[in-house]
Amino acid sequence: MTPPTDPSDPSAWTGRFSPRMAHVRASEIRELLKLLDQPDIISFAGGIPDPALFPLERVQAAYAAVLAENGQAALQYSVSEGLPALRAWIAERMTAAGAPCGLDNILITAGSQQALDLIGKLFLAPGDTVLVERPTYMGALGAFNAYEPTYAALDLAGPPPAGARLAYVVPDFANPSGRTWPRREREALLDLAEAGDLVLVEDAAYRELGFGGTAEPALLALDIARSGSIEAARTLFCGTFSKTLSPALRLGWVCGPRAVIDRLVLLKQGGDLHASTINQMVAARVVSEGHEAHLERLRAAYRAKSEAMQAALARHMPLGVSWSKPQGGMFVWVTLPPGFDGAQLLEACLAEERVAFVPGAPFYAVEPDAASLRLSYSLPTADDIDEGVRRLGRAIAARMGGAMAKVG
Amino acid sequence: MTPPTDPSDPSAWTGRFSPRMAHVRASEIRELLKLLDQPDIISFAGGIPDPALFPLERVQAAYAAVLAENGQAALQYSVSEGLPALRAWIAERMTAAGAPCGLDNILITAGSQQALDLIGKLFLAPGDTVLVERPTYMGALGAFNAYEPTYAALDLAGPPPAGARLAYVVPDFANPSGRTWPRREREALLDLAEAGDLVLVEDAAYRELGFGGTAEPALLALDIARSGSIEAARTLFCGTFSKTLSPALRLGWVCGPRAVIDRLVLLKQGGDLHASTINQMVAARVVSEGHEAHLERLRAAYRAKSEAMQAALARHMPLGVSWSKPQGGMFVWVTLPPGFDGAQLLEACLAEERVAFVPGAPFYAVEPDAASLRLSYSLPTADDIDEGVRRLGRAIAARMGGAMAKVG
């Protein structure tokens, strides 16, 4: 029998894929950034934790202890909602941070990326609208796209557009902008969410990495303060151990009303059964002792790198370039003069200056502004930060006449 | 402002969920089986590996070595397709088993459960038909349901029904039936898949656990033999380390044409970025030495338990009850006399006999046969197997008059 289509023809496969795949595309940027392993490139692209800051000795000790004391359980299946000891630690910490909750308000996920995927799966049907910041976290779009939503810019002046279901925000030390939402904007967002019956997704990936200023209350905490209890809240708080402990364990969590967590548990079960048992046991052990001192060490290290980058930007950027001044996290957002294209600049920088970053456009779900880029300072040394920013400044300056002429 | 719906009312949440959630339901059986932790219950319910057979010492040594030699990389982000060393080992093993392939034909997943979820996400749109065995693996239905398919019984006499996209089978030592597909049925399935341009999903979770009889070729191997290369094949082979190494690592794989693997990698990236780096490094290390001897130990242990169960069934089951005789894996399928209901029998067995199993009906996507149940022999001792089957036989015998009367 001859098959109706020829499987050896890759385009034949395209016809077999679900329509959702029209929304799921390889990122050209990610492809480009795969080429960054050359040692002479100074990279501000990553946005990954400095591995020198991993609590390696404590993690080693925890794996050894967990396997010695409870090895058979550590290697066995476990429940989809996650290890009770780890959920209890998280619930206590959320409660202490102003979001009173219990074990049953927590689902352990494979990093906060999976939290976003499961939330998209639970709430989004094709054509639903997700409200996002401009710029927003590219990875969230990667998670939501599979559920075929449309996007609109989040506008606190409201009202939300018809069909809006979810609002997704990174309110603390955001990826990519480095921005932190002030209290009054958080309150305005909650007003908007109530008015439009929106589900609020609070991506708190960098929240623990503040540089020492006053922390703003979490959206979930403000929501609970208004609504009286987590069960009456509409905010889903997505936390992660990827930035504070290790991304390789693939552990994050969602904290929210039980009515939502219960459904997310079902989707987690159908999706991958549960998070790694042994990694959950190790994380519970590592955070139970010395975690605050470890966080202080991280904050100090990233603050020093951030200061190095701010100094380098002030030193090397030509007039007409502006940038954010993060109070935590790993990112600076750079606004280029009008007419610049971050993607073209990246190609030139890789070829001529051996410095890398992520162009700004892919961080926009709507109305991309190409004259922007994201710098991460989490990985390079202070010396490399200065040298890399010097190269970047030189590349921008070399192009400024032309770019300005184009728009002027 | 008053919200249009009241978030403190759990039913208000129902109205916010995607229509897909009408297909995603809690399993009553799973809820019931959560109550099985009491020590006086003999459970044939689980279907989980015997933890006494985990290669604990080798796993301990591997975590210690990986963290000592390469700790920073082990705790860092890694690529979505999976660790090259682990993919290389899998590709070699697949090649040796008659399915020649390379690194780029392998995606590492969070167990084979995630492989099924990603395959559903890639291929299924609402209303598409998935062909399944009767009975089939409940967890596969749990993965696919979120993509809102309909199901039809796989019928090798063909032709496949209109709208059929995927056929899902467990051809070796199946969960739940214990059945192994003979060669001619495998060939007939490939004929059917070609005729209907179906994607074949081969769930090989138990394939490595044969009791020593002649192994049938994998569907993927037969497919490649026909089509000339894996790139021309239509079979996606889903493997796992959960039954042979440890389920807690959450590591499995899909092996298939690059055109499919490339898309699955995108979905993996959007779904949870990548599988645990450290767990992949540990698995690669553990399987690289002594794996064959370990598999032989597993096979011998499960064969002994299977033989104990066959003997117990022959000894204790009343006339009118029949059961499968698996040549590998962890499961026996029991057919009760007409009129019996496995779920009612379970309730009675828990209350009166303190023995547990999984009723058969939930394993059917279409036309459930309630007069069936699944027994797993992987966890209990040979003594408990005999005693548990004795209790089960007694419970069935006590009800036979009534049940027979009902249908007779």
Residue finishing a domain among A254, A289, A324: A289
Residue in A59, A261, A278 to test binding to B, most B beta-carbons within 10 Å: A278
A47 and A64: one domain?
no
Q: Any CB–CB contact under 8 A between B211 and chain A?
A: no
* B107 and B46 both lie in a single domain: no
Residues B130 and B218 placed together within one structural domain of the fold: yes
Q: Is the pLDDT of residue A27 over 80?
A: no
Mean pLDDT of B29-48: 78
pLDDT at A46: 84
Residue A313 has which token pair? Answer: 């930007």
pLDDT at A39: 80
My answer on whether A163 and A212 are in the same domain is: yes
Q: pLDDT digits over B67-77, tens only? A: 999 999 999 99
Residue B91 confidence (pLDDT): 98
Residue A14's pLDDT band (boundaries 50, 70, 90)? Answer: confident
* Contacts (Cβ under 8 Å, ≥6 apart) of B197: A3, A4, A5, A16, B234
Residue A226 burial by CB count (10 A; 0-12/13-18/19+): exposed, middle or buried?
A: middle
CA B265 to chain centre: 21
Task: Report how far residue A335's alpha carbon sits from residue A347's, in angstroms, rounded to the nearest whole number.
Answer: 17
Distance CA B98, CA B147 (A): 32
**Any CB–CB contact under 8 A between A203 and chain B?**
no
Does residue A5 form part of some domain? no
Residue B381 lies in a domain: yes
* Chain A (216-245) residues lying within 8 Å, Cβ to Cβ, of chain B: 227-229, 231-234, 242
**H/E element, A64:** helix A56-74
Subunit contact B195:A3, Cβ cutoff 8 A: yes
- Using the Cβ of B275 and the Cβ atoms of chain A, whether some distance falls under 8 Å is answered with yes
B197 contacts A248? CB cut-off 8 A: no
CB B233 within 8 A of CB A7: yes
What average pLDDT does the segment A229-255 reach?
98
Q: Determine, for residues A195 and B1 on separate chains, whether the beta-carbon distance falls below 8 Å.
A: yes
The pLDDT assigned to B402 comes to 55
* Sequential DSSP letters for A156-217: TT-PPPTTEEEEEE--SS-TTT-----HHHHHHHHHHHHHHTPEEEEE-TTGGGB-SSPPPP
Q: How far is CA B56 from CA A11, A64, A281, B62, B277, in A?
A: 46, 11, 16, 10, 19
Least-confidence region, from A37-51, A261-275, B103-117: A37-51
pLDDT at A5: 65
User: d(Cα B112, Cα A273) in Å, to the nearest integer?
Assistant: 10
Please indicate, yes or no, if residue B1 is contained in any of the structural domains: no
**CA dist., res. B202 & res. B169, Å (int):** 6
Distance separating alpha carbons of residues A379 and A329, to the nearest angstrom: 12
**Cβ–Cβ under 8 Å, residues A178 and A331:** yes
User: What does the pLDDT read at residue A158?
Assistant: 78
Residues of B in contact with A5 (CB under 8 A): 197
Give me the CATH number covering residue B339.
3.90.1150.10
Residue B49 tokens, joined? 């590996």
Q: Do residues B40 and B89 share a domain?
A: no
Query: CA of B17 to nearest chain A CA: how many angstroms apart?
Result: 5
User: Testing the interface with B: which of A224, A272, A298 to mutate, by most B Cβ within 10 A?
Assistant: A272
Instruction: For residues B210 and B281, state if they share a domain.
Output: yes
pLDDT at B188: 98
Q: Residue A308 falls within a domain, yes or no?
A: yes
Residues of chain B in contact with residue A224, where contact means CB-CB under 8 angstroms, are: none
Domain boundary among B289, B306, B323: B289
- Percentage of residues of chain B with pLDDT beyond 90: 89
Residues B303 and B276 in one domain: no
Cβ–Cβ gap B16/A258 under 8 Å: no
pLDDT at B395: 97
Chain B residues whose beta carbon lies within 8 Å of the beta carbon of residue A47: none
Work out the average pLDDT over B175-192: 97
Structure-block tokens of residue B252: 């499995």
Mention every residue, 6+ apart, whose C-beta is less than 8 A from residue B38: B354
Is residue A10 a part of any domain in this protein?
A: no
Both A136 and A254 in one domain: the answer is: yes
Task: Please answer yes or no on whether A269 and B5 come within 8 Å at the CB atom.
Answer: no
Cβ atoms within 10 Å, residue B212: 11
Interface ipTM above 0.90: yes
Quick one: pLDDT at residue B29?
66
Q: Beta-strand (E) ranges in B38-182?
A: 42-43, 106-109, 129-132, 150-153, 164-169
Tell me which residues of chain A, numbers 24 to 43, contact chain B at a CB-CB cutoff of 8 Å: 24-26
DSSP secondary structure of A212-274: SSPPPPPHHHHHHHHHSSGGG--EEEEEESTTTT-GGG--EEEE--HHHHHHHHHHHHHHHSS
Asked whether A51 and A334 are in contact (CB, 8 A), the reply is: no
* Mean pLDDT value of segment B229-237: 97
Residue B34 pLDDT exceeds 70: no
Question: Nearest by CB to A249, which of B4, B25, B276?
Answer: B276
Tell me whether residues A259 and B74 touch, CB distance under 8 A.
no
**Cα–Cα distance, A361 to A325 (Å, whole number):** 20
Residue B226 lies in a domain: yes
pLDDT beyond 60 at A215:
yes
| B201 vs A272: CA distance, rounded Å | 17
Number of residue pairs across A and B with CB atoms under 8 Å?
272
| Residue A114 to residue B272, Cβ atoms within 8 A | yes
* Structural domain includes residue B265: yes
Q: Count the domains in chain B.
A: 2
**DSSP H or E segment with residue B262:** helix B258-272
C-beta atoms of A250 and B272 within 8 A: yes
Statement to judge: residues A346 and A264 lie in one domain: no
Do B283 and B297 share a domain, yes or no? no
Q: Of A241, A272, A289, which one is at a domain's C-terminal end?
A: A289
What domain range is A36 assigned to? 24-53+293-400
3-state class (DSSP) for residue A67: helix
Residue A408 lies in a domain: no
> Mean pLDDT, chain A, as a whole number?
94
Cβ pair A272:B114 closer than 8 A? yes
Query: Taking CB atoms and an 8 Å limit, are B248 and A3 in contact across chains?
Result: no
Q: What is the pLDDT of residue B8?
A: 67
Q: Which A residues, 105 through 134, put their C-beta within 8 Å of a C-beta on chain B?
A: 109-111, 113-114, 117, 121-125, 128
How many angstroms separate the Cα of A337 from the Cα of each of A79, A320, B78, B341? Answer: 52, 6, 35, 73
Q: Does B7 touch chain A (CB under 8 A)?
A: yes
Please tell me whether residues A42 and A121 are part of one structural domain: no
Mean pLDDT score, A216-221? 98
Q: Which residues contact A233 (CB under 8 A, 6 or more apart)?
A: A220, A223, A224, A227, A256, A257, B7
A263 and A202 in a common domain: yes
CATH number of the domain to which B111 belongs:
3.40.640.10
